[in-house]
Amino acid sequence: MDKSFKYIANKDKKSVLKVDLDNITANDLYNFLSLPENEIESLINLAAKVKEDNVGNTVYYRGLIEYSNICSKNCLYCGIRACNANVVRYELSEEEVVNAARFAAEHSYANLVIQSGERSDSEFIHKIARLLSKIHAETDHKLRITLSLGEHTYDTYKLWKDCGADRYLLRIETSNEDLYKKLHPNDGKHSYSKRVKAIETLRKLEYQVGSGVMIGLPFQTIEHMVNDLLFLKNYDIDMVGMGPYIEHQDTPLYKYKDLLLSKNERFLLGVKMVASLRILMKDINIAATTAMQALNPNGREIAIMAGANVIMPNITPLKYRKEYLLYEDKPCTDEDSEQCLKCLEKRITSTGNQIGYDSWGDSKHFTRRG
């Protein structure tokens, strides 16, 4: 028998899946995502083995700065969409960003993510460019910087790359164009093909490219999610952040809340997606997202056990955290960065993983591409 074949069995061996690790098919992915709760453990165990063999049991930190909740777009699921009048809008000052970056450098995170609502005005674009240069200068070029600022032109992405952005995270949200249309207004600003093109532009500019999807959306099927995983593979994505969709009452999508799976079911689907992706794309970086923790207090640890190897501790100044509410019950809105750090360290080591302090933890998939 070919060595690469693995059997996944549940504890009482009643159900056995046979997979060829070198050739994971759409059918395998469908079977993984359809596993009932009492059989997930075997999938997690296989993903953990694949992780250990390919990227090791180290979890890398990316200090997350939620730079601004000002957004020009109106994604129907997002709590900080432009039309939500209940949000108090903010933008961090240059000093606040640099202080947060210093915190990340001093605490050996080695990595920073700057995330924000989407704005394409020239003031915003140049502010980000200046911030990138300033952060590198003030932290002795110790930090790798990821941006997550939405869709922009080739020239803007190039400017930011030239100023020192290394990675870019742009979730496709769903790889199904019809579903994408149901999740976004038809106002000329939200286009599936534009989003795909933006991912292609980032690749051309040689960013480490991140993407991802939401899991458990209204109208989403297991077939959609299988295709999401295959999309990430086909676009040769280097790093993935994906997590459960969580409803927010001030958004248009909230009206479909009765169509949703329960929070526990969405969480379990999230775990199965992470494990399946690790088995499919063995050497990429996968984040254990905050949305996983929002649905289960141990959600990020379980995601780490199921194959994730990146975590994004929030280092935004505390006073802004409650204004970056993408969804209900977002965790870590009342713990400062120091408290967050202590609690995280314990949580991660409890999974048998170590923390990659002072390490960039670049995606092996990216470095291997050369």
Q: Which stretch binds ligand SF4 (CB under 6 A): 76-84, 85-93, 193-201, 228-236?
A: 76-84
Q: Which of 118/238 has CB closer to ligand SF4?
A: 118
- From the list ligand SAM, ligand SF4, none, which binds 81 (C-beta under 5 to 8 Å, kind-based)? ligand SF4
SS3 helix, strand, coil % of the chain, rounded to 5?
A: 45, 15, 40
- From the list ligand SF4, ligand SAM, none, which binds 314 (C-beta under 5 to 8 Å, kind-based)? none
CB of 170 to ligand SAM, least distance (A): 6
Q: Which of 134/189 has CB closer to ligand SF4?
A: 189
Question: Which residues neighbour 167 within 8 Å (Cβ) at sequence distance 6 or greater?
Answer: 144, 145, 146, 147, 207, 208, 209, 210, 238, 239
* 78 near ligand SF4, judged by CB under 6 A: yes
Between strands 58-61 and 16-20, the pairing is unpaired
CA dist., res. 252 & res. 216, Å (int): 16
* 196 near ligand SF4, judged by CB under 6 A: no
* 330 near ligand SF4, judged by CB under 6 A: no
In the region spanning residues 293 to 322, those forming contacts with ligand SF4, defined by CB under 6 A, are none
In the region spanning residues 79 to 98, those forming contacts with ligand SF4, defined by CB under 6 A, are 80-81
**What is the contact surface with ligand SAM in residues (CB under 6 A)?**
77-78, 115, 117-118, 148, 150, 170-171, 173, 214, 245-246, 248, 291, 326-327
Q: Would you give the binding string for ligand SF4 spanning residues 138-177, x where CB under 6 A is met?
A: ------------x---------------------------
* 117 near ligand SF4, judged by CB under 6 A: yes
H/E stretch holding 210 reads: strand 208-211
CA dist., res. 64 & res. 28, Å (int): 34
CB of 270 to ligand SF4, least distance (A): 18
- From the list ligand SF4, ligand SAM, none, which binds 291 (C-beta under 5 to 8 Å, kind-based)? ligand SAM
Question: Which residues neighbour 65 within 8 Å (Cβ) at sequence distance 6 or greater?
Answer: 92, 97, 100, 101, 112, 113, 114, 115, 315, 316
CA dist., res. 309 & res. 356, Å (int): 10
Question: Which residues neighbour 323 within 8 Å (Cβ) at sequence distance 6 or greater?
Answer: 69, 80, 87, 88, 89, 90
CB of 91 to ligand SAM, least distance (A): 14
* 73 near ligand SF4, judged by CB under 6 A: yes
Rounded (10°) angle between helices 222-234 and 26-33 = 130
What's the distance, Cα to Cα, between the start and end of the chain in Å?
34
CB of 100 to ligand SF4, least distance (A): 19
Please answer whether residues 147 and 165 qualify as being in contact, where contact means their C-beta atoms are separated by less than 8 angstroms.
yes
- From the list ligand SF4, ligand SAM, none, which binds 51 (C-beta under 5 to 8 Å, kind-based)? none
Helix (H, G, I), strand (E, B) or coil at 287: strand
CB of 197 to ligand SF4, least distance (A): 16
Q: Which of 73/161 has CB closer to ligand SF4?
A: 73
Edge-to-edge strand list for the sheet holding 354-355? 63-68, 111-116, 144-148, 167-169, 208-211, 239-240, 285-288, 310-311, 58-61, 354-355
* 128 near ligand SF4, judged by CB under 6 A: no
| Residues at the contact surface with ligand SF4, assessed by CB under 6 A | 71, 73, 75, 78, 80-81, 117-118, 150
